[in-house]
């Protein structure tokens, strides 16, 4: 997809001149900055980052080895009351390592500046405004609440993050949810390390690189009284950006952070003093091999003894591989409960998770894979990054945070996730449909797996509607949904009381009154979900003098175009290929005739991305409405926005037209 090339790129380390360079330092807030009432470029901005300057560098001790240190400084201007939330700032840091010391994070130089009677007044943060909380056993959060902040204030602060985890190099975001006037990020990387820099929207960054000399002294490994030293070359890279607009949400976006102006780093290899080269993830094969060699992955996948007895019991006299797959999948899905922890490594191990009936993503899906492989259904893990986690494009271990199963059956690939109680064969949780995954095998081979559903998810709505002479309607409603429509319905309403659900449905459908409600196949996931009910409403027909006006789709009409921006920055995300059909037969009241109905229309975009067919026919005392809409892509490039905008404009305009009945 061309979009990937345009938005994300690996930086080639070439030297460019940096324009507009300024020496930003904390403690030098000007009266001009304090007097400024609105942002000079974006007058709607509630706050703005005047500058954000950061540096990542390495330190070394004989006891702990290398550490990555990041100093990050901010100056933020508050323009409006809504911007006061920027006085609260928090940063997460990791503490739950197995073989490393916890990360350390400290805020310093936290000051609020106000202009009072022409003088700059400084208020420093005290201990009460700085605190740390535990998120879980792996993560903590450091937070500050700046003092004496009001509209017009300028706040400054700095934090330092120190980590012994040289694999997970910190990401840097140039773009925030408010405008950023100036942003600068410098990395100083010793020659012992080779990191690949991956930038999103690289054309908006200026880049400068130079080689400097570095020097380390440390105690001798065998004689602490002696000192050794080593000199090395170091890459000093600086990325700058100016006048960065606020990153604003748009409709139909998968994860806004996928398109945030930023730089990330992936460790490729290391060569420490007097040690051999160690490769990490230069290729996908290297990624697969490294992951499989971890005891919490490959070893756990091989475990079998804990499942044998149950597998023999549930598959007694079952020979068909497709039946075996279905039975095993449903068994694991029902037995195991997900603890909402993502990841592709086990936590307590598959055996203990199986005994407890509770596990993380890896534990549950490893159990599923173990059972399927044991009975002859070849199944391999597929690593993926969930929508909220980012896009896995380049060979990379740390981008993945989830694992599902891929079973081979009759030459077809079936994707499975047993963590969710409502998934079925190749119907995965929506948050996993993030472009592509990576199927990996024990021998180090791997292949890209497209996560986009291949089949249309369909809904078909059928209605029989009677209209009386006062404009009151009554009728029968039936809808059935397949695949992702059925999945999302079951997931959303599985735990809701029917009375509460119907109350919500009546409100969503313009206050209609529902009776005789039934639902079919709510538990049989192999069949479409079906809803049936009787309804009445007295607010769907408008009577003006001797005419009655009716929307052909009644309370299902969609007459607002979701695409209203002049331009679109981000791709359009539909989630899954989708087809919606709507059929209704109206019986018009006695004493009325059809004066006019909307003209038929057929729309189709280029490349068959979307289509819309609308037709209304009148015959005697009946009016038949037939509408079909399809979207055939999961993700569409922003270059296609103008086409989609016009398509939705025509579609919503047509759906706003009315049937007109005239009294005789």
Mean pLDDT estimate for the chain = 91
Residue 167 banded pLDDT, cuts 50, 70, 90 = confident
3-state secondary structure 248-269: CCCCCCCCHHHHCCEEEEEEEE
Look at 178-182, 200-204, 279-283, 509-513 and tell me which has the smallest mean pLDDT: 279-283
Are 143 and 130 in contact by the 8 Å Cβ rule? The answer is yes
Distance CA 250, CA 565 (A): 9
Q: What's the average model confidence in pLDDT over 414-418?
A: 98
pLDDT at site 503: 95
Query: Shortest CA distance to 390 belongs to which of 400, 382, 381?
Result: 400
Element (H, E) at 242: strand 227-244
Distance CA 522, CA 517 (A): 13
pLDDT at site 20: 40
What is the β-pairing status of strands 154-163 and 65-78? antiparallel
Distance CA 329, CA 311 (A): 11
- Tokens encoding 368: 């599923």
Q: What is the pLDDT of residues 200-210, one digit of tens each?
A: 889 999 999 99
pLDDT at site 40: 96
Are 156 and 27 in contact by the 8 Å Cβ rule? The answer is yes
Distance CA 215, CA 234 (A): 10
Are 467 and 542 in contact by the 8 Å Cβ rule? The answer is no
Q: What's the average model confidence in pLDDT over 68-86?
A: 97
Q: What is the pLDDT of residues 239-252, one digit of tens each?
A: 999 999 999 888 89
- Residue 548 pairs in a beta bridge with 543, 661
What length is written for the chain? 664
- What is the dihedral sign for C-alpha 165, 171, 177, 179? positive
Q: At what angle do helices 361-374 and 321-335 cross, to 10 degrees?
A: 150
Residue 221 banded pLDDT, cuts 50, 70, 90 = low
Are 375 and 409 in contact by the 8 Å Cβ rule? The answer is no
DSSP secondary structure string, 428-480? --GGG-SSEEEEE-TTS-EEEEE-S-SSPEEEEEEEEEEE-TTS-EEEEEEEE
pLDDT at site 135: 85
Q: What is the pLDDT of residues 84-133, one digit of tens each?
A: 999 999 999 999 887 899 999 999 999 999 999 999 999 999 988 999 99
Are 73 and 52 in contact by the 8 Å Cβ rule? The answer is yes
pLDDT at site 2: 35
pLDDT at site 15: 31
Q: What is the pLDDT of residues 593-618, one digit of tens each?
A: 999 999 999 999 999 999 999 999 99
Element (H, E) at 582: strand 578-587
pLDDT at 166 exceeding the cut of 50: yes
pLDDT at site 56: 97
pLDDT at site 1: 35
Distance CA 419, CA 456 (A): 24
How many CA atoms lie within 13 Å of 105's alpha carbon, on the beta-carbon side?
A: 22
Residue 57: C-alpha distances to residues 14, 186, 188, 236 (Å): 20, 8, 5, 9
pLDDT at site 228: 76
DSSP secondary structure string, 611-653? EEEEEEEEETTEEEEEEEEEE--SEE-GGGHHHHHHHHHHHHH
Ranges assigned E (strand) in 284-401: 337-338, 358-359, 379-384
pLDDT at site 117: 92
Distance CA 312, CA 315 (A): 5
Residue 12: C-alpha distances to residues 57, 121, 265, 267, 640 (Å): 20, 46, 13, 16, 29
Distance CA 324, CA 375 (A): 8
- How many secondary structure helices (H) and strands (E) does the chain include? 11, 37
- Over the range 479-518, which residues count as b (16 or more CB within 10 Å of their CB) and which as e? bbbbbbbbbbbbbebeeeeeeeebeebbeebeebebeebe
Q: What is the pLDDT of residues 551-588, one digit of tens each?
A: 999 999 888 899 988 888 889 999 899 999 999 999 99
Residue 197: C-alpha distances to residues 433, 475, 550, 661 (Å): 26, 61, 59, 66
pLDDT at site 635: 87
pLDDT at site 119: 94
More confident residue, 189 or 390: 189
pTM for the complete prediction?
0.81
Radius of gyration of the chain, Cα coordinates, nearest whole angstrom: 30
Are 646 and 544 in contact by the 8 Å Cβ rule? The answer is no
pLDDT at 17 exceeding the cut of 60: no
- Tokens encoding 644: 């989609």
Are 238 and 18 in contact by the 8 Å Cβ rule? The answer is yes
Count the Cβ atoms, other than its own, within 10 Å of residue 328: 29
pLDDT at site 93: 95
- Tokens encoding 627: 């509408």
Look at 349-353, 521-525, 648-652 and tell me which has the smallest mean pLDDT: 521-525
- Tokens encoding 45: 């901005």
Q: Nearest 5 degrees, angle CA 612-CA 618-CA 624? A: 50
What SS3 state is found at 51?
strand
Q: What's the average model confidence in pLDDT over 135-144?
A: 89
Residue 282 banded pLDDT, cuts 50, 70, 90 = low
Are 298 and 290 in contact by the 8 Å Cβ rule? The answer is no
Domains of the chain: 2-18+46-279 (2.60.40.3140), 284-450 (3.10.620.30), 457-663 (2.60.120.1130)
pLDDT at site 649: 95
pLDDT at 643 exceeding the cut of 50: yes
Residue 289 banded pLDDT, cuts 50, 70, 90 = confident
Distance CA 310, CA 306 (A): 8
pLDDT at site 366: 98
Q: What is the pLDDT of residues 294-347, one digit of tens each?
A: 899 999 999 999 999 999 999 999 999 999 999 999 999 999 999 999 999 999
pLDDT at site 376: 95
- Tokens encoding 17: 């001149």
Are 384 and 405 in contact by the 8 Å Cβ rule? The answer is no
- Tokens encoding 176: 């925030």
What SS3 state is found at 576?
coil
Residue 16 banded pLDDT, cuts 50, 70, 90 = very low
What does residue 388 show for φ and ψ, rounded to 5 degrees? -80, 0
Element (H, E) at 139: strand 139-145
568: alpha, beta or left, given left = phi > 0 and alpha = psi -120 to 50? beta
- Residue 449 pairs in a beta bridge with 437
Are 659 and 550 in contact by the 8 Å Cβ rule? The answer is yes
Count the Cβ atoms, other than its own, within 10 Å of residue 533: 19
pLDDT at site 23: 63
Are 434 and 401 in contact by the 8 Å Cβ rule? The answer is no
Residue 3 banded pLDDT, cuts 50, 70, 90 = very low
pLDDT at 21 exceeding the cut of 60: no
pLDDT at site 62: 78
Query: Shortest CA distance to 24 belongs to which of 184, 176, 262?
Result: 184
């Amino acid at each position: 997809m061309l979009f990937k090339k345009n938005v994300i790129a690996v930086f080639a380390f070439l030297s460019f001149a940096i324009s507009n360079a300024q020496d930003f330092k904390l403690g030098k807030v000007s009266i001009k900055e304090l007097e400024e009432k609105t942002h000079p470029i974006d007058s709607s901005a509630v706050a703005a980052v005047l500058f954000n300057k950061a540096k990542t560098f390495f330190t070394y001790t004989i006891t702990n080895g290398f550490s990555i240190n990041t100093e990050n400084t901010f100056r933020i201007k508050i323009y409006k009351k809504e911007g006061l939330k920027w006085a609260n700032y928090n940063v997460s840091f990791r503490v739950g390592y197995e073989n490393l010391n916890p990360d350390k994070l400290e805020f310093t130089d936290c000051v609020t500046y106000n202009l009072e009677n022409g003088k700059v007044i400084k208020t420093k943060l005290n201990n009460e405004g700085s605190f740390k909380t535990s998120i879980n056993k792996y993560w903590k959060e450091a937070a500050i609440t700046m003092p004496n902040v009001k509209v017009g204030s300028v706040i400054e602060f700095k934090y330092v993050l120190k980590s012994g985890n040289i694999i997970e190099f910190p990401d840097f975001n140039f773009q925030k949810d408010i405008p950023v006037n100036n942003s600068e990020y410098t990395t100083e990387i010793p020659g012992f390390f080779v990191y690949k820099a991956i930038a999103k929207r690289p054309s908006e960054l200026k880049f400068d690189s130079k080689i400097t000399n570095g020097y380390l002294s440390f105690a001798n490994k065998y004689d602490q009284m002696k000192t050794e030293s080593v000199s090395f070359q170091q890459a000093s890279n600086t990325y700058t950006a100016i006048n960065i607009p606020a990153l604003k949400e748009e409709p139909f976006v998968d994860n806004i952070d996928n398109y945030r102006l930023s730089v990330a780093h992936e460790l490729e290899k290391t060569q420490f003093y007097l040690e051999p080269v160690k490769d990490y993830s230069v290729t996908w094969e290297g990624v697969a091999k490294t992951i499989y060699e971890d005891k919490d992955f490959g070893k756990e996948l091989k475990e079998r003894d804990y499942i044998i007895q149950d597998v023999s019991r549930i598959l007694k006299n079952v020979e068909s591989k497709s039946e075996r797959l279905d039975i095993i999948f449903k068994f694991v899905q029902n037995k195991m409960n997900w603890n909402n922890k993502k990841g592709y490594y086990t936590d307590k191990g598959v055996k203990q998770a199986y005994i407890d009936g509770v596990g993380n993503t890896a534990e549950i899906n490893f159990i599923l894979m173990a059972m399927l492989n044991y009975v002859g259904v070849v199944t391999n893990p597929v690593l993926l990054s969930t929508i909220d986690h980012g896009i896995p494009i380049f060979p990379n271990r740390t981008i993945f945070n989830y694992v599902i199963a891929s079973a081979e059956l009759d030459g077809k690939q079936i994707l499975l996730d047993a963590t969710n109680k409502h998934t079925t064969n190749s119907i995965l949780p929506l948050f996993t449909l993030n472009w592509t995954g990576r199927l990996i095998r024990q021998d180090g081979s791997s292949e890209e797996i497209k996560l986009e559903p291949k089949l249309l998810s369909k809904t078909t709505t059928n209605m029989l509607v009677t209209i009386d002479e006062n404009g009151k309607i009554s009728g029968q409603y039936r809808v059935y949904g397949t695949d992702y429509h059925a999945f999302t319905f079951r997931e959303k309403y599985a735990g809701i009381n029917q009375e509460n659900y119907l109350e919500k449905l009546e409100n969503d459908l313009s206050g209609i009154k529902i009776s005789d409600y039934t639902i079919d196949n709510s538990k049989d996931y192999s069949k479409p979900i079906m809803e049936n009910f009787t309804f009445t409403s007295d607010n769907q027909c408008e009577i003006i003098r001797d005419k009655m006006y009716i929307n052909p789709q009644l309370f299902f009409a969609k007459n607002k175009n979701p695409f209203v921006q002049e331009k679109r920055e981000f791709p359009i995300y539909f989630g899954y290929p989708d087809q919606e059909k709507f059929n209704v037969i109206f019986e018009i009241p006695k004493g009325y005739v059809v004066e006019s109905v909307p003209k038929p229309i057929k729309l189709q975009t280029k490349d068959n991305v979307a289509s819309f067919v609308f037709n209304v026919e009148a015959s005697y005392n009946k009016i038949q409405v037939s509408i079909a809409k399809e979207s055939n892509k999961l993700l569409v490039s922003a270059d296609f926005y103008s086409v989609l905008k016009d398509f939705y404009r025509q579609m919503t305009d047509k759906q706003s037209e009315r049937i007109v009945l005239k009294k005789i």
